[in-house]
Structure 1
Amino acid sequence: MNRLALLWLIVVSLFTGCSYHSDLKNLQLIYATSLDTNEKNEIVTTVTIQSPGGKERTVPIHEVLTATGPTLQESLYKKIGLQIAGPIGTSKNQVMLICDKLAKSDILNLLDATFRNSNDPMLAKVAIVNGEAAELIKLNRIGSATSGEYLRKIIKSAQYETVIPFVTVHSIYPLLHDRGKDGVIPILRRENGEDSETDKDKAVIDGVGLLSKSKYTGYNLTPEQSSLFLLMNGKKGEICIMTRKIDETKGKNDLSQYVSLNIIKSSSNKKVMVSSSGHVQVQLQLKLKGIIIEHAKYNRIDKKLIEQLNKRFSELLTEEAQGICKQLQKAHSDALGIGRDLIAFHPKEWKELDWEKAYPEVDFKVSVSMDIISHGIIN
């Protein structure tokens, strides 16, 4: 009896294995997803799908499919699923792009189904697109690379260079529920090539979009502002290049007026205080250490010039940091997490505050100090 049972288990496992491999062979893998909206306020889902190569072909086939529906699940699994021969696989999805109009409604609702589905990849990059998100999915690809791979590499490169933060489905979804901090999401746009033969259309990083609770506010930080914002938030990438115009010669604008620094170390210190009247004040100090990598005006750099550059950069970056704080307040986006500090260190005052009204009135005192520690081997 035991031998018959064992034999039966072996037979069943063999047949199950064959069925499993057959499903894998027919699986239609999604590598990128974009979400737009139409005049009926329906969700327009566009995906790039890679079908496995068969006996007649050695390379996978890429297809771009679009469908509409009241929800993401309806348009993706039901409508797009009916257009393909085989089951949909979302485990390889690398990017999720959301058009700016749809992001202004509620990002939390859009990502809810994705976050609940254990088969969906939590590390898929999330970004907002100025205009139609599907345009980036439909970009002409180089070689056999999918648009998902192309977009993922662009986003990853910007993270490496401290232009945008690390944002995935897994990292942004919990933040949309956070009472004390708002998120920021990378902004992409399509840039048309001048010559269709040699200069193809491409995706460009356009800084970060500011969120208020779970909605995109429509306010952005430029790539230069975004890098400084990340340093203020203690999130430096592998490299961080800052180029600033240090000379203001009237009627002149050439390379000799600019200096480029590589920020090799940064440290930020934030202190949140509440007065007896309930007024919130924030003191934020950012200390940077940098290396001169380009300064065309002077071949020889002495100690006096270093001191002048330190002072100039400190002044410029302090002014920019203050401007970033004002932009955050204008957008009602607490992306620096002031609310979290109040919850942690001033819980009594936090309960008495109407944060929606109090946040735009927060008094930010920001100072940035630059310390140039090296200027290369010219001298």
Structure 2
Amino acid sequence: MKKLTLSFLILLLLSGCWDQQNFKSLQMIDMIGFDKAKKTEDMKLSLAISSLSEAHQGGGMPDMEVTTTQGSSLADAIENTDFRTPGLLTFNQARMYIMSKSFASDKPIEKMKVLGQVATCPLTSSVVVYDGEVSKLLAKKELKKKTVANYLAILVKEAESINFIPKETLLRFLFAKKDPYVDVALPLIQAKGDNILLNGTALFREGSYSGVDLSPALTKIVLLMKGVAGSGLHLIVDLDGATYDVLVKKARRKIVVNANDNKVTEIMLPLKIQAQILESHTNNNPLTQTKRNNIEKMLTYEINDQALQAIQTLQKASCDYLGLARELHAYHHEEWSKMNWRKEYPRLTIRPDVKLQILNSGVMF
């Protein structure tokens, strides 16, 4: 009997946790927004806290509260938030980090790096840039019968899944400044009337926003040239009054460095694309071999032109998103050792060489 009583007491002691937290007192932060204060050097921190109103078994009405504070640092702003929010703030459900362009232009990594030291802060959540004031964006609270936080999370996640935008996580962003060989490009969100949409990417140089953006069309071309996108990517090409929906089935890129006397003279970016044309607004006539060859030639020229525009935009921003410095450092180290990369990169001759093969053999729908 004594053994049974002792076993029962041990089970009671093991059933609890000494550091347990009351779930009801937790404030689940869904999104974290960053702005630069207008009249001071302070930063503005906006926390979107999601919850369920009218909660009942099996569901409830999604709701969102936004708390905005200022501080001389992120830690200071978080502390000021603690005094204004009942309950315990927790970051472990944060799905996205959003920064305004003004905040992104002024050493954002230095201000955000403390997040990497917060144990509950997800390092794999997406980081995006908003062309406007983030606190005002989150203050909308609701968009198309969804909370703004949920709408943005779905918008970005779906765009990442089809390679419409790059996926950049907090961990990758925080290390961007310390990586001397690759810059980052963050998804760009824009407000248009009452709607919110993705508008390409914001280009970063050595961890700070360059002030230069890539359009949605050029972003997809860059992702192909970088080698992170391929099968399933759609290229929408307007040509001679017709719109072509080009579905990429396979893409393969290379980096070819030409040098003379141990000096880089040219970088070529061959890109082979195998694709199908899903739609054309010209007509529904059968796609003959001659017509396919003509369309293939015209689209190849157009995509090459877009690729060149994308490269020139990257050079204008001095953003090495394609990772050319890493290629030179790894495989052409002698030439690399004689270069001042940041100074020479914007003036280098970099040329794309896109070869498109259309796989259609039947009727264009």
The question of whether the paired residues in 2 share the 8 Å contact of 1:160 and 1:237 is answered with no
In structure 2, give the amino acid aligned to 1:109.
E
Question: Counterparts of 2:62 and 2:97 in 1: how far apart (Å)?
Answer: 21
Question: Counterparts of 2:162 and 2:30 in 1: how far apart (Å)?
Answer: 24
The residue aligned with 2:74 is 72
The residue aligned with 2:344 is 358
After TM superposition, give the deviation of residue 147 of structure 1 in Å: 2.4
Question: Counterparts of 1:3 and 1:131 in 2: how far apart (Å)?
Answer: 66
The structure whose residues are more often strand, as a share, is: 2
Matches within 5 A, 1:35-50: 35-38=34-37, 39-50=39-50
Question: Counterparts of 1:118 and 1:361 in 2: how far apart (Å)?
Answer: 43
In structure 1, give the amino acid aligned to 2:234.
I
In structure 2, give the amino acid aligned to 1:30.
I
Output one character per residue of 1:70-127: Cα deviation in whole Å (capped at 9) or x when no partner. Answer: 1112212x11111122100100111110000110111221331112222101122100
After TM superposition, give the deviation of residue 160 of structure 1 in Å: 2.6
Match of 1:374 among 335, 353, 360: 360
Output one character per residue of 1:218-246: Cα deviation in whole Å (capped at 9) or x when no partner. Answer: 10110000011101111216632222232
SS where residue 374 of structure 1 aligns? Answer: coil
The question of whether the paired residues in 2 share the 8 Å contact of 1:159 and 1:237 is answered with no
Question: Counterparts of 1:365 and 1:177 in 2: how far apart (Å)?
Answer: 28
After TM superposition, give the deviation of residue 148 of structure 1 in Å: 2.2
The normalised TM-score by structure 2 is 0.90
The residue aligned with 1:161 is 162
In structure 2, give the amino acid aligned to 1:313.
L
Deviates more, 1:172-181 or 1:94-103: 172-181
Match of 2:235 among 224, 242, 246: 242
Equivalent residue pairs, number: 360
Match of 1:264 among 222, 225, 249: 249
Matches within 5 A, 1:1-379: 10=11, 12-14=13-15, 16=17, 20=20, 23-38=22-37, 39-51=39-51, 59=61, 61-76=63-78, 78-141=79-142, 145-192=146-193, 201-236=194-229, 239-247=232-240, 256-276=241-261, 278-300=263-285, 301-374=287-360, 377=363
Question: Counterparts of 1:98 and 1:50 in 2: how far apart (Å)?
Answer: 19
SS where residue 315 of structure 2 aligns? Answer: helix
Pair 44,304 (structure 1): closer, same or farther in 2 beyond 3 Å: same
SS where residue 358 of structure 1 aligns? Answer: helix
Deviates more, 1:220-229 or 1:108-117: 108-117
The question of whether the paired residues in 2 share the 8 Å contact of 1:342 and 1:350 is answered with yes
Pair 378,45 (structure 1): closer, same or farther in 2 beyond 3 Å: closer
Pair 88,311 (structure 1): closer, same or farther in 2 beyond 3 Å: same
Output one character per residue of 1:293-352: Cα deviation in whole Å (capped at 9) or x when no partner. Answer: 112223222110100011101111111111211111111111111110111112233222
SS where residue 93 of structure 1 aligns? Answer: coil
Question: Counterparts of 1:243 and 1:106 in 2: how far apart (Å)?
Answer: 35
Unaligned runs of 5+ in 2: none
Deviates more, 1:180-189 or 1:131-140: 131-140
After TM superposition, give the deviation of residue 361 of structure 1 in Å: 2.3
Question: Counterparts of 2:364 and 2:345 in 1: how far apart (Å)?
Answer: 48
Question: Counterparts of 1:52 and 1:203 in 2: how far apart (Å)?
Answer: 23
The question of whether the paired residues in 2 share the 8 Å contact of 1:160 and 1:239 is answered with no
SS where residue 178 of structure 2 aligns? Answer: coil
Output one character per residue of 1:268-300: Cα deviation in whole Å (capped at 9) or x when no partner. Answer: 111223321523421111111111111222322
Identity %: 21
Pair 35,7 (structure 1): closer, same or farther in 2 beyond 3 Å: same
After TM superposition, give the deviation of residue 61 of structure 1 in Å: 4.6
The question of whether the paired residues in 1 share the 8 Å contact of 2:95 and 2:125 is answered with yes
SS where residue 163 of structure 2 aligns? Answer: coil
In structure 2, give the amino acid aligned to 1:148.
A
The question of whether the paired residues in 1 share the 8 Å contact of 2:257 and 2:264 is answered with no
The question of whether the paired residues in 2 share the 8 Å contact of 1:291 and 1:376 is answered with no
After TM superposition, give the deviation of residue 139 of structure 1 in Å: 2.7
In structure 1, give the amino acid aligned to 2:308.
Q
The question of whether the paired residues in 2 share the 8 Å contact of 1:26 and 1:52 is answered with no
In structure 2, give the amino acid aligned to 1:75.
A
